[in-house]
Amino acid sequence: MSKTPDSGKAEDDEPSTVEQYLVKDPERFALNMARMIEQAGKAASAWAEPREKGDVRDHVAEPVVDMVKTFSKLSEYWLSDPQRALEAQTRLFSGYMTVWANAIQRTSNAAEATEDAVKPERGDKRFLDPEWGRNAFFDFLKQAYLVTSRWAADLVEHADGLDEHTRHKAGFYVKQVANAISPSNFILTNPELFRETVASNGENLVRGMKMLAEDIAAGKGDLKLRQADYSPFEIGRNIATTPGKVVGRSDVAEIIQYDPTTETVLKRPLLICPPWINKFYILDLNPQKSFIRWAIEQGHTVFVISWINPDERHGTKGWEAYIREGLQYGLDMVEKATGERDVNAIGYCVGGTLLAAALALMAREGDDRIKSATFFTTQVDFTYAGDLKVFVDEEQVAAVEKSMSEKGYLDGTKMATAFNMLRSGDLIWPYVVNNYMRGKDPLPFDLLYWNADSTRMGAANHSFYLRNCYLENNLSQGMMELAGHTVSLGDITIPIYNLASKEDHIAPALSVFLGSKYFGGKVEYVMAGSGHIAGVVNPPASNKYEYWTGGTPTGDFGEWIAKATDHPGSWWPHWQSWIEAKENTRVPARKPGKHMKTLGDAPGTYVKVRV
């Protein structure tokens, strides 16, 4: 009897054969194993050499200690009550007995179908190979793993004695461990990997170890996991290609003005403040996906802040410097280039958080140049700040600060790894298997090229962000100190367009919704479909996803969603209508360099500095 793909069973009755797992050419296999060991030695050398020279200092113990402490608290809850501990052990034992009984039944009667003790979640691609279902050994491994990982997740969910932060961390760490120990990650426990290794006589492992050595060398002693073939892409050639000029350059930012494509433009220029944790060209990946190009086509005179990739020189540059030398410097350049003081502004992610803090400071100082603000997946209140909050408590922040004090910055690979861990099942382990066990080069993908183009975090900037936002939540509580002022979001009375994404794991839609109430003016809350990137970078021509609009973002979030209006496609035209409703005066198009000297072509020089 056939089974559905979700169960991991084969869709046909073809039996599993032992021959496909037997080495056909032992001599060649042995030779390739020797070559693999040689490449593994090169990988080990690439890891060890920078440590021997003192260029790299490991801080692996710190997160491991935090994980052990978290699991200790979880264990304490379950073991403190014998009855509770017995019930937990009984649930696990019962699951194992079901798996064992299924295995015995299948061995004794291969023609009779058995129901899995537990099935993979819908969309889980790890167990799609038919052998996970029709081979008794691999089926047993799969079910035992799923029973164990589900049981561990349930322990966290039902540990009523844990505080919310510890529960959040425990759930996150359980997921990381579960993803890491999946049988799909190992040669001998993954039928597909096993077959490929035998069929190629181990050549896949030789290629994989060679790639591992290359990636450790590229990470200067740390693994820089390649998620795509980056070679076809070049910034300014086929990435970030919208024409424009650099019209200003400070110590922390370049200001880019883009060429118009319409005869007339909106009177108010548009200044975009992207995150410095990633590079701005996520909004200009290619002509089809570029929000910047689309905004220009709608008649905006677009300016973008391109942040410096900081080094030792920028270690003391905090948020005030990024506001003065980045955001307000950008406003100065807008005025110099166009003669306009009134500006529409956009902030994306942490760039939006900086924009919100800057607006609160500017309100105290009487700087009213920004007339409307749009926030893309931006948090101003960090009560429900998503999985990144796992990495933030006093001990972990102090450890990060200690690490940054050595160089004046946090290595970009550290932040890249943290973001990848938020979706390790999609962004880490599939690439580990494909690259280092299958020995296959990943395919070209512009989004993953951008994702790998990581930036360093300046020490003062990053410390201020972690403490004032994630750790102490000072911005929404009106306790953030900037330039001698205690700033308040309530002082921001300009119109706000607050965009969230439904499946965002970095700035959850609930968090963005709750943050809306702290602004002093009217807020248009919009929730896009998909996640932190795809929900924002969703051009109308793609006709993908959807977005929701509704009333004032107050009260219960679930009730707001239930009453919201569902619109198919991109939210971009809705935002354009919102902008034009505030001010729709048109003037002749402005070309970069007409009123000032330019400093080079877009996308500038700062964006090309790599880690």
Catalytic machinery residues: 349
What's the token pair of residue 149? 């990982």
Task: Give the closest residue to 354 by CA, choosing from 267, 291, 276, 294.
Answer: 276
- Asked if 441 and 455 count as a contact pair (C-beta separation under 8 A), the reply is no
Phi and psi (nearest 5°) for 275? Answer: -70, 150
Q: CA-to-CA distance for 186 and 557, rounded, in angstroms?
A: 42
**Strand-by-strand arrangement of the 565-568 sheet:** 244-249, 253-258, 302-307, 270-273, 343-348, 370-376, 496-501, 523-528, 546-549, 565-568
CA distances in angstroms from 323 to 283, 355, 373, listed in the order given: 21, 8, 15
**What is 367-426 written as a DSSP string?**
---EEEEEEES--S--TT--GGGGG-SHHHHHHHHHHHHHHTEE-HHHHHHHHHHHTHHH
- Asked if 588 and 264 count as a contact pair (C-beta separation under 8 A), the reply is yes
Task: Give the closest residue to 591 by CA, choosing from 263, 304, 291.
Answer: 263
Q: CA-to-CA distance for 539 and 536, rounded, in angstroms?
A: 9
What's the token pair of residue 356? 């919100």
- Asked if 179 and 424 count as a contact pair (C-beta separation under 8 A), the reply is yes
What's the token pair of residue 428? 């880490």
CA distances in angstroms from 41 to 38, 209, 263, 338, 407, listed in the order given: 5, 9, 62, 59, 29
Task: Give the closest residue to 492 by CA, choosing from 516, 468, 464.
Answer: 516
Give yes or no for a cis peptide into 603 (omega within 30° of 0): yes
Q: CA-to-CA distance for 269 and 372, rounded, in angstroms?
A: 11
Give the DSSP H or E segment for 267. none
Phi and psi (nearest 5°) for 533? Answer: -100, -55
Q: CA-to-CA distance for 257 and 602, rounded, in angstroms?
A: 8
**Secondary structure of residue 445 in the 3-state scheme:** coil
